[in-house]
Structure 1
Amino acid sequence: MDTQGQVRTWLLEQQDWLQEAADKLLKHGILTPKDISHLVALLKTPAGQAVPKNRSFDELTHAPVGSVLRLKSIADVEGIESLGPRAPLDFGPGNLTVIYGHNGSGKSCYTRILKKATGKARASDLKPNVFHATPAASKCTLNFELDQTADSVEWHITHPAIEQLREIDIFDSDEALHYLKSESAATYSPPIMGLFEKLAAGTDAVKDALQAEQDQLVSKLPVIPASYHETSIGKSYRSLGTLAASAVEQLLSWSSEDASSLEALNERLKTTDPASLAKQKRDTSVQLMHLINGVKKAAVAYGPAQAEIIRALRSAASEKRQIAIEGAHAKSAVLEGVGTSTWKAMWEAARAYSQIPYPGQLYPVTQDGRCVLCQQTLPPDAQQRLNNFEAFIHSRLEADAKAAELTYNETLRALPDSLTEAEVQTQCTAAALTSPEWHAALWRFWRSVGESRKALLDHEQAGLAGLIPDFTANLLILDRFAQQLTSEAAQFDQDALQFDRPKALAEKAVLEARQWVSQQSEAVRNEQQRLKDYKLLDKLKSTASSRRISTKATEISENVVTEVYVARFNKELRALGATRIQVELVKTRTSRGKVLHQLRLKAVKSGDHSPDKVLSEGERRIISLAAFLADVTDKPGVAPFIFDDPISSLDHDFEWKVACRLAELAKERQVLIFTHRLSLYGAMDDVAKKIGESWKKNNLQQMCIESFGGVSGHPAHQAVWSSSTKTANNILLDRLRDAKKAGEAAGAAAYYSLAQGICSDFRKLIERSVEDDLLFKIVVRHRRGISTDGRLPALLGITREDLHRIDDLMTKYSCFEHSQSDELPVQPPEEAELKADIESLKQWRDDLEARRKKAA
C-alpha cells in the first residue's frame, strides 16, 4: 500500500474529532482558534468519540504549491541596533547579491532584523543603539515582491513576524551552532509528514484548551477546621474524590438523633454531678411519660372510634326510652308524656308522699284510698290505671331503658378532662419540652379535646364533636425522647461510677465534624460535580494525546523523511567538498509528529562523540552549512536564502566550494550574502562569471556598507579597488569635480582634504589597472588560481611605453598610499594636473584595448 493509502487507513481508525481535524488541515492547511473550539466541543460528544468510516480524504494526493518571494530592500531604519543608513539597503533586481563590509559595519544587524521579522526560532531580541538616547520608535520598512506583486510593511521590533516573509531562510553563526549541537526537525517535509506535524500541534492545542478549562475548575470546598482533621469524618471529607455516591450521602446526613447525641455528650462533659443529673433525667422522663399517657388516653377517648361508640350508646338509650314510653301509653295512658323522665320523677315523688297518708302500704294505694296527687276518691278505672302505671315502672322495657341510659351516662362521665393552657405549659416545663412548638402543638391538641368533650356532654345538640389533631408522629418523637432520657440517666449513673472523658471527647469531635460537614452540603455537591468534570477532562486530555500521531509519523517517516533528508545532506557534503569528514545525519526520535535528526560522528570508538567537541572550527562550519542546505533547499516555492559570513573559519578550498554552491542556488532563487572577506567577494565574481557573462550581468550585484560616527549600515558606492577600472576612472573624475567645487567655495584646505583621498584611491586604481588591463585579468588578487583561458595572447600587445606609463604613475602616487616623511610631506597635485593624470590612465586603457582588438 502507498504512503497516502496507509495514512488514509490510519485516519479511518481514529475518532471522528481527530478525523475532522485532519480533514480541515487537508482542506485549509491550518486549524484556527474557532476550529480548535469546535474540536473540543466535538471531542466531548459520543458522536465525536465514534469511529466513522465514510471520509475520503481526497486531498492526501494533492501536491503542495509554493509562492515566489523576493526581498527588495530594507528602508527607513530607525532606532534598531547601531543601524542608521542614509539610504535603503537595496538588494537589486538579480538573484545574487554580495554585501561587503568591515567588522562593525552593520552586516549582522541587518541579519538580526531579518531573522526577527521573519519569525525564526533562534532570532534574538532587537534593541536600540545603547550609546544613543532612547529613540521615539524602533522600526524599519521591508519591501518585497510576492508572486510578482509588490508589497511593503512597516515593521516595529515589538511587532509579530511578517507572515509573508516566513519562508525566507537565514544562515548565521547561531544557526550553524544549532545544526551542530541540537536535534532538529526538517524545515520542510513532505505534505504527509506536514499533516502529522500539524495534526500533532492541533491535538496539543485541543489538549491545551481542555487543560485551560480544567484549570478553571478550582475547588471551592471550605477547609474543614483543623480540630476535625483526624476524625473519620474529616478524613472522608478531605478525600471526597475516592468516595462512592452513597458514602457521600451518608457523610452529609445529620439527624435529630445525631443532634440529641451531641447535646447529650456536651451535657455529660459539662456536668460535675452525674448522679444528680441522672435523677433529674429520670424525673423528667416520668413527667414526660405522664404527659404521653395523658395524650394517648385523650386521643383514644376522643378519637373517631370512641366518638362513634358514644353516639351509638346515646342512640340506644334514646331508642329504648322511646320504646318504654310507647309501652306506658299502652297501659291505658290518657295523657301524653307518660313514661318520660318528667313523668317518672312525678311518679316517684308521689310514691314517697304516699308513705305519709298510707304508711307501710304498697304504692299505689287504690283500695279505699284516695289519689295522693288530687286527693279525690279513686273510681275503679282510676284504680286500674294507677296499678297499670306501677306495673309499667317495674316492666322489662323500663329496665332496658334505664340500663341503656346508665351506660351512656357512665361513658360520658368516664371522658377524661381536658387541660387548660396553663396546665399544658406546666406539663411542657416538667417534661423538658422547652420548644415553643411543643407548647403550641400540645395546646392545640388539648383545646380540641375540650371542644369535643363539651359537644359530647351536650349530647352534640349544637353540632357534632370535631376531630382532634392526629398526634401519632409527635407521640413517636416523645416516646424516643423518653427513651433517650432513660438512656441518658443510665449513662449518667455509669458516669457517676467511672467517666471515660477522652472517649467522650473523641465521640464529640466526630459528631461536631459530621454536623459541620452536613452544613457544607451544597459545597460538597458542587465539589462532587467539579471532581466528576475534572476526571472527565483528564480522560479527554488522554484522548487528545499526540502520542499515537507521533507513533504513526515514526512508522512512515523512514522512507518519506529520513532517507530523503539524509540523502540531501550527503549530497550537500559532496557539493561542499566535505565528504572526508566522518559525520552523518541520523534520525533520533519523533516528537509530536515531527521527525528529529542530529549530526553524529561516524565510527567513534571512545570518548565524547559530539561533533562540536571533536571537529575543527572549519569542519564544524562546513557540516553545519551542509545540514542547513539539506534542511531548506527542497521546500516548495521560491524564497530568498540569506547568509551571514558563511565562510567564517573556512580555508580557501572550502571557501571556493561554498562560493560555487551559493552561485548554484542563485540560479533558482534570490541569494543574499553578507561578508567581511574580500576573498569571498572576489570568488563570487569568479563563480558568477563561470555561469556566464550574461547571467553575471543580470544577477550579480556587489555592494558595500560602512559605518561612521558610531552609526552603521550605510550603503556605499563600491570602492575604487572593487569597481571595474573604467567605472573607477569615472568615479575619481566625479570626486575630483566635487573637490574642485569645495576648493572654490571654501579654499585650498577644503580641496586638499578631498584630493588626498582621491590620490590614494588613484594609486589603488593603478594597481587594479595592472591586474585587469595590463595583465588582462590573468592574475588577480583574492582569486584561487591563474586564469589563462584564451588570455595569454593579449600579453603580446604590451609595449615598453605601457610599462613606463604605469611605472611613472605608480611612482608619482605611491606617496599617497604609503607613509610620508614628516619633514617633506607631499602635497596633492592641483586639480588640473590630477585630472590630466587620471584621464591619461583612462586614455591609455582605451588605447591598449583598441590595440588588442586590432591584433586579434
Structure 2
Amino acid sequence: MSDVLASLSEWFSERPQWLQIAAMQLLQQTELTNKDVSEITALCRQETDGKLPKTTCSFPVSAFSQGTPSTLRLYSISDVEGVNALAPKKPLEFGKGNITVVYGNNGSGKSGYVRLLKHICGARNLGVLHRNVYNSGSTVQKACISFEQDGVLKSHTWSGQDICDDLSSVGIFDTSFNKAFVSSEDVISYEPPVLSFFSSLILVCEKVARALDAEANRYQSKKPNIPTEKKVTPEGIWYESINTKTTSQDIDKYCTFDSNDEADLQTLQQRLAEQAPAEKAKQLRKQKQHIDTLVQDAQKYLEQLSNENCRRIIVAKKKSILKKTAAEIAAKRAFSSSHLEGIGSSIWKALWETARTYSGRAAYKETEYPNVSQDSRCVLCHQTLTQEGKERLVSFENFVKGEMEKAAKDAEKEYEAANQTIETLPPSGTLKAIIDAARIPQDEVASQVMEFFAQLQSRKDQLLEIDSEEAIPASVPLLKWIENAETYSKSLGELAEKYEEDAKSDNRQDIKKKLNSLHIRKWLSEHRAAIDEEVERLKLLNQIQEAKRSTNTKALSLKKGELAEVLITDAFVQRFNAELKVLGASQLKVKLVKSKVSKGRVLHKLQLLGAAQSTLVEILSEGENRIVSIAAFLADVAGKSNGAPFIFDDPISSLDQTYEEAVVQRLIELSQDRQIIVFTHRLSLLGTIKDFAEKKSIKPDVVSIRTADWGTGEPASIPLSQSDIKTALNTLINQRYQDAKKATENGDFEHAEILLRSICSDFRTLVERSIENDLLCGVVQRFQRPVHTLKLKELAKLQSIDCNLLDSLMTKYSRFEHSQPAELPVELLGPDNLLADMMALKDWREEYMKRSAPTVAG
C-alpha cells in the first residue's frame, strides 16, 4: 500500500492548481464549508482565465493514517409532517440501549419511518417520499431527528429536500437493498481513508461544478426572438448563429442602419408597390426637370445679381451720368447765345435727329445735313435761311457730332447694356407653380425658395436706385435648399432609372430580397445593444464552461479505481464471505466482483460461481436472495470504523427459522458496539430478539407504534403478549381501571362500558401469558422456538389450587376474547369484581414466584 500512496504526490502535481489547493484544504479540515467551496470556485475561474498565481502544493501521504472512530446514536424522530400517512403527536424514541425493536402491525407507519430515515440520512435507493395520498392538502414535508455524535447532543430539522451530513454514515437495510446488491450492481460504502479522501474530493468537484452551473444560470440570455419570416435571410441566419467568435466588425456589418438605408427601404417599398413603373419613371423625370429648372434659374439670377455684376452696372451708370453731364456742360457753352431754352437737351437732340432724318430722306436727299447752300430753307419752318441761321445750324451740327456728345451716348448705351444682363425675375405666382410641379416635399423648403427669389427681386430693385458701389445691398446667401434640391434631383433621376429598369425586366423577387434584408438590418440595429450583450454573455459562459471542464472527475475516478483494486475489493469480499458463514449460508456459491468505477464510486455485483450467464434472482430462492443481500449489507457497513447505527426494516422477511435466528444472533452481536434499530410487524422476531438478547444479558428497548384517528406512526404501549406481565397488570389496575371507574362515577356509562370491556379482554391475555411464563415457568412460549427443558424442575411447585384459580379466570374472561351466541349476550362484570380478579392474579403471581419447588429424591 505504501508504494501505491507514494505515487499520489506526483499524480496530484499534474492536476489543476485549484484542485491541488482544494485537496490540501480537505486534508486539513476533512470537510469543506459552503464558503470554502465558493472560494475554490473562484480559484477555478481565476485559473481558467490565467489569473491564478502559480504555487506549489506538497501532498502529504502520511495524512491517511487511521484516525479515532466517531460514535453516533439516534434518539428520536418528532414533528413529522407530510410524510406518507405519518402524523404522530408524540416523538418516536429509540430507547437508551444498543438494540431497539419498533413493533407495529401492517399499516401502522413502520415503512414510513424507514423511508423518512433514508431521506434524512441520504441512503441509497431513496425512492419517492410521497405525502398522504388521501389528503389533498399541500402539506409541507418536515421532521426533526435528535441524535448524539461523539457525546454531543444534536438535532436536525429536515425540510423535505436536505440531507443531514452528520447522519450520512447510518446504514439502512430494506427491500430495496436486496435489489441493489442481488439484482444489480451498487457501490460499497466503506472506504479506507485515502479512498474516502478521493470521494470527498470528487464531491468538491461536483459542488464546484454545480456552483459554476449556478453562476452560468444567473446570466440568462436577453437576446430578442427574431421574427420567423426573417430567420431565412442571410442576416437572420447570422443572428441565429451568434457565438463567442462573433466580432465587432461582424456586428457592424449586420447591425448598421442609417438614414440612407431608411431612404432605400422606403424606395424599395414604393418600387414594389408601383404597378406602372414606366409611367412612374416619366413622372419622376418631369419632376426632376422642374427642380433642375428652378435650380438653374436660381443659379442664373444669383450670377446676374452677383456683387461683381452689380459693381459693373453701377460703374456703367456712373460713367453714363458723368459723360452726360459733361456733354450738357459743353452744350451750354456752345448754345449760350441761343434765344430759346433747352438747346442741347435730350428733347432738343431728339428733334435735331428727326430733322436730320427728314432732310436726308425727303427735303434734301442729295445734300449733307444741314443744307446751308444758297436759297436753302429750314427743314422745320421752311423759311429761307439767313446767313446767321446758316451759321447757327452749322454750329449745332458741329456740337452734335462732337466727342463730348458721342462719349455721352456711348456711356448711356453701355449702361443700358449692363442693365439688360439682369433678366426679369419670375413673379411669385409663377414660382409657386414651379414649386408645385417640382413636388418639393417640405413646406419649409418651399418657403425658402419663395424667400430666396424675393431677396433677389429686392436686390434688383435696389440696384436701380443706387449710384455708388458702397450702396450695393448685401448679396443673397446660397441657401441649403439649392444643395438639397440638387441632391433630391439626383435621387429622382436614380429612382427614375430604377423604375425604368423595373419596367424592362421582372425583378420583383430581387427587390423583395433587398427589402427583406433592409428590414432585418433595421431590426438588428434596433437591438444592437442586446446583441453586444449577448456576445459578451456567450464569452462569459464559455469561460465558465472552460472552468467547469476542469472539474471533470474522470481522472479522480480512475485513480480511485486503481487504489480500490488494492484497498477495497479483496477486503470486502472477505467480509462478505465471513457474513455468509455467520448467517449460515456458506453453502451458497456466490462471489462478489467489481464491475466498474463511476464518478469515483466503486461498483460491485454478486455472481453465482459456475453460473456466469444467470443472475442470483433467477437461481436463488426468495429466502436465499434475502440472506445474501443481508450478508452483502453487513459486509458493506460493518467495515466502517465510525460506530454508526444500523437500521433494519423487517430483515427476516422470507427467511426460515434457521436463517431468522442466525440474523437475530448477528444483530445482537453487532449491538455490542453500535446501535441497532429493527422495524418489524412480526411478534416472532420480537420474541426471538428478546430471547437471544437475554442470553447475552442485554435488555432490548421495545417501542410500539399504531394507527390513530389522525394518522399512522403514533407511539403506543407494547403488545401485552410481549410486555412485562407485572408492569402490564399494574397498568390495568392503577391507570385503565381508574379511568373506567371515573367514567362510571361521572355517569358516562357508555364510555365506561367500552373501557371495562377493553380491560377484560387485555386481562384475559395477561392470564394466558401468566400460564405460559409463571404457571409453566416459561418452559414453552409462543412466538419462540426454544424449549427451556431446564425449567421443567420448577413445575414441581405446581398445585391444584394454582390450576383452579387460573382456570376460573380463563373461563370467566374468555367470553371477552371469543365470539358468543347472540341469544347469550356477555354480561359485563362490575368494576369491583374486575378489580378483585386482577388483584387475585397479582397476589398469586407474587406468591407463586416466591414459592420453592420441593426437593425430589434422587
Q: Give the TM-score of the pair, scaled to structure 1.
A: 0.69
Alignment check: 8 A CA contact 2:76 2:146 kept: yes
Q: Match for 2:561 among 540, 558, 562?
A: 558
Measured in 1, the distance between the counterparts of 2:302 and 2:580 equals 114
Measured in 2, the distance between the counterparts of 1:581 and 1:403 equals 147
1:805 aligns with 2:798: yes
1:324 match: none
2:377 match: none
Give the C-alpha shift of residue 188 in structure 1.
Answer: 6.2
1:439 match: 446
Q: Match for 1:671 among 649, 670, 676?
A: 676
Give the match's secondary structure for 1:649. coil
Measured in 2, the distance between the counterparts of 1:454 and 1:419 equals 14
Q: Quote the sequence identity (%).
A: 23
Measured in 2, the distance between the counterparts of 1:579 and 1:407 equals 143
1:177 aligns with 2:182: no
For residues 669-748 of structure 1, what are the structure 2 equivalents within 5 Å? 669-685=674-690, 688=693, 693=697, 696=698, 700-702=700-702, 713-716=714-717, 719=720, 723=724, 728=725
For 1:805, the aligned partner's letter is L
**CA offsets per residue over residues 660-686 of structure 1, 9 Å max, x none?**
432343233221122344554354446
Give the C-alpha shift of residue 634 in structure 1.
Answer: 5.1
Structure 2 CA distance for partners of 1:515 and 1:741, relative to 1, 3 Å: closer
Give the match's secondary structure for 2:95. coil
Measured in 1, the distance between the counterparts of 2:469 and 2:417 equals 16
Aligned residues: 771
Measured in 1, the distance between the counterparts of 2:261 and 2:174 equals 82
1:474 match: 484
1:768 aligns with 2:769: no
For residues 448-527 of structure 1, what are the structure 2 equivalents within 5 Å? 449=456, 458=466, 459-462=468-471, 465-466=474-475, 468-469=477-478, 473-474=483-484, 476-481=486-491, 483-484=493-494, 487=497, 490-491=500-501, 495=503, 500=505, 503-527=506-530
Alignment check: 8 A CA contact 2:564 2:602 kept: no
1:430 aligns with 2:434: no
2:749 match: none
1:575 match: 579
2:202 match: 197
Q: Match for 2:532 among 514, 529, 532?
A: 529
Give the match's secondary structure for 1:520. helix
Give the match's secondary structure for 2:470. coil
Structure 2 CA distance for partners of 1:218 and 1:632, relative to 1, 3 Å: farther
Structure 2 CA distance for partners of 1:149 and 1:34, relative to 1, 3 Å: closer
Unaligned runs of 5+ in 2: 336-342, 353-368, 373-386, 746-751
**CA offsets per residue over residues 351-379 of structure 1, 9 Å max, x none?**
696999x9699xxxxxx999x99xx9xxx
1:217 match: 221
1:54 match: 55
For 2:55, the aligned partner's letter is N
Alignment check: 8 A CA contact 1:601 1:610 kept: yes
Measured in 2, the distance between the counterparts of 1:281 and 1:734 equals 115
Measured in 1, the distance between the counterparts of 2:621 and 2:471 equals 126
Give the match's secondary structure for 2:769. helix
**CA offsets per residue over residues 305-334 of structure 1, 9 Å max, x none?**
xx468769989999xx8xxxxxxxxxxxxx
Structure 2 CA distance for partners of 1:439 and 1:139, relative to 1, 3 Å: closer
1:542 match: 545
1:290 match: 293
Give the C-alpha shift of residue 525 in structure 1.
Answer: 1.4
**CA offsets per residue over residues 734-779 of structure 1, 9 Å max, x none?**
8578899899998999999857755653453443358867x7xxx9
Structure 2 CA distance for partners of 1:512 and 1:62, relative to 1, 3 Å: same
Measured in 2, the distance between the counterparts of 1:310 and 1:758 equals 142
Alignment check: 8 A CA contact 2:185 2:606 kept: no
Structure 2 CA distance for partners of 1:446 and 1:55, relative to 1, 3 Å: farther
Measured in 2, the distance between the counterparts of 1:766 and 1:419 equals 142
Give the match's secondary structure for 1:414. coil
1:365 match: none
Alignment check: 8 A CA contact 1:13 1:51 kept: no
**CA offsets per residue over residues 603-662 of structure 1, 9 Å max, x none?**
57675x444444322232233334434444455744432212122222344334433432
Structure 2 CA distance for partners of 1:539 and 1:100, relative to 1, 3 Å: same
1:646 aligns with 2:647: no
1:92 aligns with 2:98: no
Measured in 2, the distance between the counterparts of 1:513 and 1:424 equals 41
Structure 2 CA distance for partners of 1:576 and 1:815, relative to 1, 3 Å: farther
Measured in 2, the distance between the counterparts of 1:755 and 1:670 equals 38
Structure 2 CA distance for partners of 1:89 and 1:205, relative to 1, 3 Å: closer
Alignment check: 8 A CA contact 2:561 2:597 kept: no
Measured in 2, the distance between the counterparts of 1:281 and 1:832 equals 127
Structure 2 CA distance for partners of 1:166 and 1:237, relative to 1, 3 Å: closer
For residues 138-153 of structure 1, what are the structure 2 equivalents within 5 Å? 142-150=145-153
For 2:94, the aligned partner's letter is F
Alignment check: 8 A CA contact 1:140 1:156 kept: yes
Alignment check: 8 A CA contact 1:79 1:128 kept: yes
Give the C-alpha shift of residue 556 in structure 1.
Answer: 1.6
Alignment check: 8 A CA contact 2:198 2:600 kept: yes
1:662 match: 667
Give the match's secondary structure for 1:648. coil
Measured in 1, the distance between the counterparts of 2:272 and 2:728 equals 115
**CA offsets per residue over residues 819-844 of structure 1, 9 Å max, x none?**
89999999999988986787566556
For residues 228-239 of structure 1, what are the structure 2 equivalents within 5 Å? none
Between 1:414-423 and 1:530-539, the stretch displaced more is: 414-423
Between 1:507-516 and 1:46-55, the stretch displaced more is: 46-55
Measured in 2, the distance between the counterparts of 1:510 and 1:672 equals 78
Structure 2 CA distance for partners of 1:482 and 1:548, relative to 1, 3 Å: closer
Structure 2 CA distance for partners of 1:57 and 1:74, relative to 1, 3 Å: same
Give the C-alpha shift of residue 571 in structure 1.
Answer: 0.5
**CA offsets per residue over residues 77-130 of structure 1, 9 Å max, x none?**
799767687975443222222344454555434434544555656265365695
Alignment check: 8 A CA contact 2:45 2:547 kept: no
2:603 match: 597
Measured in 1, the distance between the counterparts of 2:810 and 2:542 equals 80
Give the C-alpha shift of residue 9 in structure 1.
Answer: 5.8
Structure 2 CA distance for partners of 1:513 and 1:343, relative to 1, 3 Å: same
Between 1:802-811 and 1:426-435, the stretch displaced more is: 802-811
Measured in 2, the distance between the counterparts of 1:166 and 1:767 equals 44
Structure 2 CA distance for partners of 1:548 and 1:313, relative to 1, 3 Å: same
Measured in 1, the distance between the counterparts of 2:328 and 2:413 equals 16
Alignment check: 8 A CA contact 1:576 1:658 kept: no
Give the C-alpha shift of residue 58 in structure 1.
Answer: 7.4
Structure 2 CA distance for partners of 1:511 and 1:768, relative to 1, 3 Å: same
Alignment check: 8 A CA contact 1:186 1:565 kept: no
1:347 match: 330
Give the match's secondary structure for 2:651. coil
Compute the RMSD of aligned alpha carbons.
6.0
Alignment check: 8 A CA contact 2:763 2:838 kept: no
For 1:342, the aligned partner's letter is T
For residues 756-835 of structure 1, what are the structure 2 equivalents within 5 Å? 758=763, 761-768=766-773, 798=793, 802-803=795-796, 805=798, 809=802, 813=806
For 2:484, the aligned partner's letter is N
Alignment check: 8 A CA contact 2:188 2:604 kept: no
Give the match's secondary structure for 1:642. strand
Measured in 1, the distance between the counterparts of 2:37 and 2:424 equals 82
